[in-house]
Each structure stands twice: as structure tokens, then as C-alpha cells.
Amino acid sequence: MKVKSFLGGFDKNFCYLIWCNETKEAAIIDPSVKISQIIEVIESNNLKLRKIILTHTHHDHIQYLQDFIYYYPLIKIIGHPQPLKEMGEAYQGVDHHENISLGKTMLTTIHTPGHYSDSICIWNMKTKCLFTGDTMFVGRTGRTISANSNIDHLYHSVYSRLLTLPEDTLVYPGHHYGFSRDITIKDNKSLSNFFQCNSLDEFKAVMSSFEKSRRG
């Protein structure tokens, strides 16, 4: 599987173009960046764009969804089974640990509620890639300030479902908020106190001091 990231959108958003080397079937993860530069790469690599996968339905992550649908009217939209926004007929919900095929590449969904209740992550076990949306960034987790956020759920999602994956898994986040565009789970654990907590209470304390420092 190949991965190309595009930076732009509302707030240093990442949009990812991924594809199967053998079949050239491709998918977009989060249509959060203007479509023109992405189409250029799709066409120059002779890719067949089949799917758009949404890590969650916060506005900035789906900002250019309609543009993609306009250019690729048969495209499938994939995401959480209960998206918080109306997604239309082409939308297909995926359960926790469901497989999504992309040519000969297999992706696995991981439900990760917390930052938002319809958050999911996308994992490719073979190439050890994990697309985390706003659940995990380089250096910290997503925030829990939305109406549909839940810090208890975020703790469970991050600690039970993401940090338990192989440590050499490469995290591709939904925003460029850290010192690098991506990071291994191992390095994120060793560099950030967000990922060193031994209990929910400790995690809540880290989150609360982060929120206070933003206001200060």
C-alpha cells in the first residue's frame, strides 16, 4: 500500500491518498483538503479512486466531500455506522474491526469514540499504518470539547485500542499539530505524557492541564 499525505484545509488538516500498488485502486481518508492537487496525483499515477473513508464527521474533515462526489459520482463513502451528519445514499457504515478492501490491500476499522462519538481509525496491519483522525496526533490526543465528546471513551479508545497495536505502527494523524507529520506508536508513548497514564484519573489530569495551558 502507498500513502501520500496532503496538508491544508481548515486548520493544518491532513488528507491522505492511499492505494494498492498492484491494482491501483485508491481511497481518500478525510476529504479535508482542496481537490485540485489531489486529482493531479490520482491522474499522474493512473489511480482508480473508489472510496472515501471518513475518520469522523467534524466539519473540517468532510469540507470537500461534495467536490469529490461531483468528480467521482460512483464513489463510496465509508465511515461510522451512525454518522452525526446526514451522509446520503452512497454512505456505508462500518462496524468495529470490519475489513475494507482496496484492491489487494485490506484495511481494518477500529472504532475510537471520545474526541467525537463517530470517530474511527483505519489500520493496515501489513504495512503497519494507522490513520487516526482526531483521536491521536503527534504528541497528544484530540480534545474532548465537542457536544459529542467523551473523555472516558477517549481514554478507553486510546489506551485499549490504539496503544495496544504493534509499537512500530506509524500513526498518520488528522492534523499537523506536532513536530513531525507522522510518528510511531512507540515514539508517541515515550515522548508524550498523554500516552503515559496509568489510570483514567491521570489521563483526565493531563487533559485538564493541557486545556488550562491553552487558555493561559
**Contact residues: Fe ion, CB under 5 A:** 58, 134
| Minimum CB distance to Fe ion smaller for 58 or for 153 | 58
Count CB neighbours of 48 within 10 A: 13
Measured from the CB of residue 104, what is the shortest distance to Fe ion in angstroms? 31
Give the separation between CA 154 and CA 156, rounded to whole angstroms. 5
Closest CA to 24 of 63, 58, 55, 50: 50
* Shortest Å, Cβ 175 to Fe ion: 8
DSSP 8-state assignment for residue 38 = H
Looking at the chain, how many residues does it have? 216
Q: Which three cell numbers stand for residue 51?
A: 472510496
Q: Per the structure block, which three cell numbers stand in for 157?
A: 479508545
**Alpha-carbon separation of residue 108 from 23, 64, 205 (angstroms):** 19, 24, 32
**Distance from first CA to last CA of the chain, Å, rounded?**
43
Q: How far is the CB of 73 from Fe ion (least distance, A)?
A: 27
Smallest distance from the beta carbon of 174 to Fe ion, in angstroms? Answer: 7
Say how far apart CA 162 and CA 46 lie, in whole Å. Answer: 33
Question: Residue for cell digits 494523524?
Answer: 173
Cβ 58 to Fe ion shortest distance, Å: 3
Q: What are phi and psi of 63, to 5 degrees?
A: -55, -40
Instruction: Look up residue 45 and give its DSSP letter.
Output: T
Give the shortest CB-42-to-Fe ion separation in angstroms.
25
